[in-house]
Homo-oligomer: A and B are copies of this chain.
């Protein structure tokens, strides 16, 4: 059994991006730049945005966070989005979700210039993903593809079961893995809350990907020997014996399932760290397609 080390892989990507950024700066050009828009003071959102900003700065990107009052109106936010779209010194930006109740998340997502949409949530980018045209792929599925490729996990002709059909993980991933591409060409089945007899499906799978948000959902008896496990779940459970009183676990019963798996991602340290790394890769991509690089 081999652990798929997402933390190390993410670090490798940061190192690669750092070298590339240095080259850009050495050539006398401005570094890639991104902006995070944070509305309100939700601690989790605040944490994510700070992590993104820190990573961006570490690899040499120019990065800043726009902190907006939680009572901002939709119209005001749309005006800010317009300004971000116009500012040619900004290559890409994200609007940290979820937004406060008075704002329609989807309306905001669609207002983002698709060429700056480094989260890849704009429907135009989702559509381009389907037709395999240049665009942005959402960071978590993109990160999972990257792990599969960097660990040389064969997908062609393999049966993959994805548990979860969310717009940010399961759905895009199911499309990507079944396309003609490196790390694609798999036979992909999407399971979800309405699926009957899930173990029947997972037991037959060469690769199982969980993205449903239920701690320890996937048990050893649900998979076959030699299975590859990718766990995109991040669940907080009580852990009275720890300092914080809680810990993070995935959707997979890691201890038992890892005994049968050929490859497995741990939680934390698997898929999680890849998300921000791929967001940074998307930022660099946005930089290269921005005409104003100097």
Contact = CB atoms under 8 A, between A and B. Distances in A.
Interface of A: 106, 122-128, 130-131, 133, 135, 156-159, 165, 167, 171-172, 174-175, 178-179, 185-192, 194-196, 200-201, 204
5 contacts: A106-B133, A123-B130, A187-B189, A187-B195, A187-B196
A171 B167 contact: no
Contacts of A135: 123
Contacts of A190: 174, 178, 187-189
A207 to B, nearest CB: 13
B165 A171 contact: no
Given A124-B123, A157-B196, A194-B157, A130 B171 contact: yes
A158 B190 CA distance: 12
Contacts of A128: 123, 127
A157 B191 CA distance: 9
A122 B114 CA distance: 14
Contact of A171 (B133, B159, B175, B186): B175
Contacts of A196: 157-159, 187
A198 to B, nearest CB: 8
A192 B165 contact: no
B191 A165 contact: no
A43 to B, nearest CB: 28
Nearest to A201: B187
Nearest to A198: B187
A134 B57 CA distance: 39
